[in-house]
């Protein structure tokens, strides 16, 4: 009965998060669902508190990065990026796609996938409208890279933050091991998306209207120093969240003084309902794991750190992501992969980051992207999945092979 109740609660939480009727926040169902599994004894108060306490530092880190990204937007960083991308079309759309890939990969890696979906995608769409070219190739680039280009740093994705804690690696070691899979995933995505949308990319863009580029140097320097701070804090044994908080504080104070932002915008950027959703989802997933899912997943997850084992682990993670969404998938798999070693944890991460490109269900970022692009294009579930079927399996295999190669050189 406890398993049935826990699974029903998880289905309700995920179903509401995927549909979000009336635009209500995910926490509307997640908070009562977490309370229900606690009150009914599906998970003890002590077990729920342990889960919240384990996730709290990760959620705090996420909040700081979300604020940092929003403040960069308030400083005009993303508008300047749009002007530069428009200028890159002098050689045709292939140069525009290449610039979209480069910017999306950098923004996703440094400021997280949420910044790519919410802040960069509208800029890419506006650039496509200005140049009178089809938006689909460039919009799909931001969608796919918000997932697959989030492999590089612990700060790039909430799933990375969770895997970073489970793997027991330093910030620099994590980045070193994931750099080759990150580069390979981006390269494979570029080749395949360019081939898929070759007809759209054949349309010649109109000349970009002249507009000066006003790069916000303070924001760029702050982001650069924050990135250095991530590595330094990890080396001295502190949480990288302190570096993210320092960067957000510096940009926040400047934004308030120059009136480019407000206290209300900063609070809204923290997205407290989403943070509550993450914590409550963790409690519900823990209840499901403790009432029967854990032994079942033990039987499915391959054991070992060879190439075939890592491919199997990543495949299981990718499939599970497209069944229950990648956030619950990583919460389920990390406790099982951690005893197998950091290589298994990173293989799980590749699966839950690249796998969601297969269907809308794979990640909340996919659904958020769909709502952002709806004005310019309305990609159906079939179209999104068709693009995903062409790109995701090859990208997944290539990234895992790159991880395995990196492990032979760098080690764990």
Concatenated DSSP letters of 106-144 = HHHHHH-HHHIIIIIHHHHHHHHHHHT--SHHHHHHHHH
Residue found under tokens 């209500």: 24
Distance separating alpha carbons of residues 142 and 121, to the nearest angstrom: 6
Summary mean pLDDT of the chain: 89
CA distances from 304 to 140, 166, 321, 342 (A): 35, 17, 21, 11
Distance separating alpha carbons of residues 403 and 307, to the nearest angstrom: 9
CB 251 within 8 A of CB 237: no
**Model confidence pLDDT, tens digit, residues 72-110:** 999 999 989 988 888 877 767 888 999 999 999 999 999
CA distances from 146 to 54, 110, 321, 357, 406 (A): 25, 11, 15, 9, 23
* Residue 342 burial (CB count, 10 A): 21
**Model confidence pLDDT, tens digit, residues 382-400:** 899 999 999 999 999 999 9
In 289-341, where does DSSP find H-type helix? 294-300, 307-324, 326-337
pLDDT of residue 91: 66
Distance separating alpha carbons of residues 223 and 221, to the nearest angstrom: 5
**Model confidence pLDDT, tens digit, residues 297-319:** 878 888 888 999 999 999 999 99
374 secondary structure, DSSP code: T
pLDDT of residue 14: 81
Distance separating alpha carbons of residues 310 and 333, to the nearest angstrom: 13
* Residue 39 burial (CB count, 10 A): 9
Record the tokens describing residue 163, joined without a space: 């895997």
CB 16 within 8 A of CB 29: yes
Cβ density class 313-325: b for 16+ within 10 Å, e for less: bbbbbbebbbebb
Between 161 and 345, the more confident residue is 345
What percentage of the chain exceeds 90 in pLDDT?
Answer: 49
CB 33 within 8 A of CB 282: no
- What mean pLDDT do residues 157-167 have? 89
- What mean pLDDT do residues 340-368 have? 92
Position 34 pLDDT exceeds 70: yes
Record the tokens describing residue 347, joined without a space: 């293989």
Which residues make Cβ contacts (< 8 Å) with residue 87, sequence separation at least 6?
208, 213
**Model confidence pLDDT, tens digit, residues 41-76:** 999 999 899 889 888 887 888 888 889 988 999 999
Chain centre distance of CA 132: 29
In 236-271, where does DSSP find H-type helix? 241-258, 263-270
pLDDT confidence band for 10 (50 / 70 / 90): confident
What values do phi and psi take at 315, rounded to 5?
A: -65, -45
CB 138 within 8 A of CB 95: no
Distance separating alpha carbons of residues 392 and 412, to the nearest angstrom: 27
Distance separating alpha carbons of residues 293 and 234, to the nearest angstrom: 34
């Amino acid at each position: 009965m406890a398993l049935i109740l826990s699974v029903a609660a998880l289905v309700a939480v995920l179903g509401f998060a995927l549909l979000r009727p009336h635009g209500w926040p995910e926490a509307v169902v997640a908070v009562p669902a977490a309370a229900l599994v606690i009150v009914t004894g599906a998970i003890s108060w002590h077990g729920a508190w342990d889960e919240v306490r384990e996730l709290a530092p990760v959620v705090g880190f996420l909040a700081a990065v979300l604020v940092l990204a929003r403040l960069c937007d308030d400083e005009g960083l993303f508008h300047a990026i749009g002007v530069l991308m428009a200028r890159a079309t002098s050689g045709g759309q292939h140069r525009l796609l290449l610039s979209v890939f480069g910017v999306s990969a950098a923004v996703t890696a440094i400021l997280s996938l949420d910044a790519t979906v919410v802040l960069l995608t509208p800029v890419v769409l506006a650039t496509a409208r200005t140049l009178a070219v089809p938006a689909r190739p460039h919009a799909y680039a931001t969608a796919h890279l918000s997932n697959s280009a989030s492999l590089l740093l612990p700060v790039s994705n909430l799933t990375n933050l969770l895997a970073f804690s489970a793997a027991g690696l330093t910030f620099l070691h994590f980045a070193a091991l994931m750099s080759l899979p990150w580069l390979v995933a981006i390269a494979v995505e570029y080749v395949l998306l360019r081939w898929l949308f070759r007809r759209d990319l054949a349309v010649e863009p109109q000349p970009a209207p002249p507009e000066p580029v006003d790069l916000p140097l303070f924001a760029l320097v702050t982001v650069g120093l924050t990135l250095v701070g991530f590595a330094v804090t990890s080396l001295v044994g502190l949480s990288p969240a302190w570096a993210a908080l320092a960067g957000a504080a510096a940009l926040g104070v400047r934004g308030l003084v120059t009136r480019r932002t407000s206290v209300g915008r900063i609070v809204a950027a923290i997205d407290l309902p989403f943070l509550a959703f993450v914590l409550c989802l963790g409690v519900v997933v823990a209840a499901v794991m403790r009432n029967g899912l854990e032994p079942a997943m033990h039987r499915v997850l391959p054991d070992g750190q060879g190439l075939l084992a890592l491919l199997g682990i990543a495949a299981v993670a990718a499939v599970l992501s497209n069944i229950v969404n990648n956030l619950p998938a990583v919460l389920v798999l990390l406790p099982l992969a951690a005893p197998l070693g950091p290589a298994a944890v990173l293989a799980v991460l590749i699966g839950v980051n690249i796998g969601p490109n297969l269907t809308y269900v794979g990640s909340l970022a996919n659904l958020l992207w769909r709502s952002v692009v709806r004005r310019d294009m309305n990609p159906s579930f079939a179209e999104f999945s068709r693009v995903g079927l062409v790109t995701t399996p090859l990208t997944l295999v290539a990234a895992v092979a790159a991880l395995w190669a990196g492990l032979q050189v760098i080690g764990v």
